[in-house]
Structure 1
């Protein structure tokens, strides 16, 4: 027998002290790293008066939950649109319980007059992609089953939800997930009848690619999210050995299937001017428009990545919620504004 001990595991990937991937595959997570402070605003997030919420299990096999919010005075006298929300975090971080995102969802339920479902999903590197996208699809399947259950559905959904007006939204990685859920449904790979998905909202979505976009090569002034941060998150979340041209990261990469035949309902794409992903997001919207997909691009020139959930009570957040309200209620007449 050799007297030499096996070498101790060493760090092979470190995301700002928050996530460390060791050489033996162990993942160490910490709330005390530099990334945690950088993404947690030093402010309070008061509850929105009258908004109720509760947590439900949507995938018992993986222990995954979602949080349901409903606005004040919601009941069976009024059928409300349903907004499915996916949080950001580079497919490696985040939860619906994060105070700032919880606050956002309360605001959305109250001000959009909608039933909001905020879902957790599996994160990398413990669960590499496409696990999270599979979970996003499972949320829509769970909602489909609720719609089919009639009086047997969750009481809040049975009383208040209009299953013919479902919208899917996400911020950062959640925006990326919203795109992939749209493709699954629009290509017929995911059947959601009797649900009707009436639109998608991609808020500063997290996309990538091997070739740098101009705003990645020369980041805008004030951008806190850096190319190095983006690269590490993709390395921690994509299948091992995959590049940033993997179809999950780059919908228009060399190995990505064509979206020409995919049926999209209206898509709202929101881009921030001081975000390294600005140019990549603008390119995404332009490519969909070239395919004659119904895309609306809205730019917030002075804002940064994740500006809604990082500053949920700011004036830019107020304006974004107004944009989302117009998008959801645009076919219902001007009395909704």
Structure 2
């Protein structure tokens, strides 16, 4: 027979959502992390045609991390003079969501491989909050070291890829990782593979002091201040603020690029992105160090338009911009 105290005790409350990232990642009140199987960004058009060959490989078995590799269909027949540049790509998602296998990132990499043309390698990395920073940065560095060995030993890559023309790129969180790889490796840190330049697409840089573009960002924007704060809460080490070296490249404890040869650097910003001013500040600071860096702002676009709208006209213009940048890096040598 139930006692009166049992009757007065409320039933245990079911876990409820305390953090939500685009419906793809939810953190519950009991600490459980729930991830959706389907990505939130439909591509709309299947672009997986015969122009590009691709395959998956595991580059870190211990963490179960995958790389998706692409090359133009005729690239396997390339002679030494016809080998293609290599584009390393790290996806965005606030360090919390995303995968190289998501259809939107897959479509964007297919475009890069076919239209540049280039050998493209799209790497996964561990995600927060299960794996807080610096996990993603450790994984992207491991990805480059794996690539160094594979470019010289895997015929599927070696027959098509020019190991002296490697470009490290990423969008949003992936662009942040590209910056830190520039700090770590520069152009010569993968010898005998050579990094010719870095391509940062709307890189995720933030600081405690908000910029004007952050303060003016509407609540209807693709990336809002609230969402940016949420990503920081979930991804940064517990108790860390936005001036942490992994999110603020010019914070009080951040490593400097001053003495590092990073080759040519392309930074792409979007006019409607709350990170626009931070991206512009990054370029100004890099130029003050004497770096060969270029800023291109895409009018009318929002944050992460490459990954969110891989088949758009703006993404087509971005691919052409990257193509010119790669050609310019070759001409500068």
Q: TM-score, normalised by structure 1?
A: 0.88
1:272 equivalenced with 2:270 (yes/no): yes
1:92 equivalenced with 2:96 (yes/no): yes
Q: CA deviation at 1:172?
A: 0.8
In the alignment, the residues of structure 2 paired with residue 166 and residue 286 of structure 1 have an alpha-carbon distance, to the nearest angstrom, of: 24
In the alignment, the residues of structure 2 paired with residue 111 and residue 187 of structure 1 have an alpha-carbon distance, to the nearest angstrom, of: 25
* Number of corresponding residues: 321
Q: Which moved more, 1:121-130 or 1:257-266?
A: 257-266
Q: CA deviation at 1:145?
A: 1.4
Q: Is the 8 A contact 2:186 2:195 kept in 1?
A: no
**What SS is found at the alignment partner of 2:165?**
strand
Counterpart position of 1:318: 316
Q: Is the 8 A contact 2:187 2:195 kept in 1?
A: no
After TM superposition, the runs of 4+ consecutive aligned structure 1 residues lying more than 6 A away are: 2-8
Q: Alpha carbons of 1:176 and 1:223: their partners in 2 closer, same or farther (altered >3 Å)?
A: same
Alignment of 1:190-201 (within 5 A): 191-201=189-199
Alignment of 1:49-198 (within 5 A): 49-74=50-75, 75-77=77-79, 78-147=82-151, 150=152, 153-186=153-186, 191-198=189-196
Q: Is the 8 A contact 2:165 2:194 kept in 1?
A: yes
Q: Is the 8 A contact 1:172 1:203 kept in 2?
A: yes
Q: Is the 8 A contact 1:220 1:275 kept in 2?
A: no
**What SS is found at the alignment partner of 1:67?**
strand
1:246-301 C-alpha deviation (Å, 9 max, x unpaired):
11111112222333222221100000001111111111111111111110101112
Q: Alpha carbons of 1:260 and 1:8: their partners in 2 closer, same or farther (altered >3 Å)?
A: same
- Structure 1 unpaired stretches of 5+: none
**What SS is found at the alignment partner of 1:157?**
helix
Q: Alpha carbons of 1:201 and 1:9: their partners in 2 closer, same or farther (altered >3 Å)?
A: same
Q: Is the 8 A contact 1:82 1:163 kept in 2?
A: yes
Q: Which moved more, 1:5-14 or 1:315-324?
A: 5-14
Q: CA deviation at 1:17?
A: 3.9
In the alignment, the residues of structure 2 paired with residue 46 and residue 187 of structure 1 have an alpha-carbon distance, to the nearest angstrom, of: 33
Q: Is the 8 A contact 2:43 2:104 kept in 1?
A: no
Q: CA deviation at 1:61?
A: 1.3
In the alignment, the residues of structure 2 paired with residue 233 and residue 221 of structure 1 have an alpha-carbon distance, to the nearest angstrom, of: 16
Q: Is the 8 A contact 1:220 1:273 kept in 2?
A: no
Q: TM-score, normalised by structure 2?
A: 0.89
Counterpart position of 2:19: 13
- For the aligned residue pairs, the C-alpha RMSD in angstroms reads 2.3
Alignment of 1:254-293 (within 5 A): 254-293=252-291
Q: Which moved more, 1:58-67 or 1:3-12?
A: 3-12
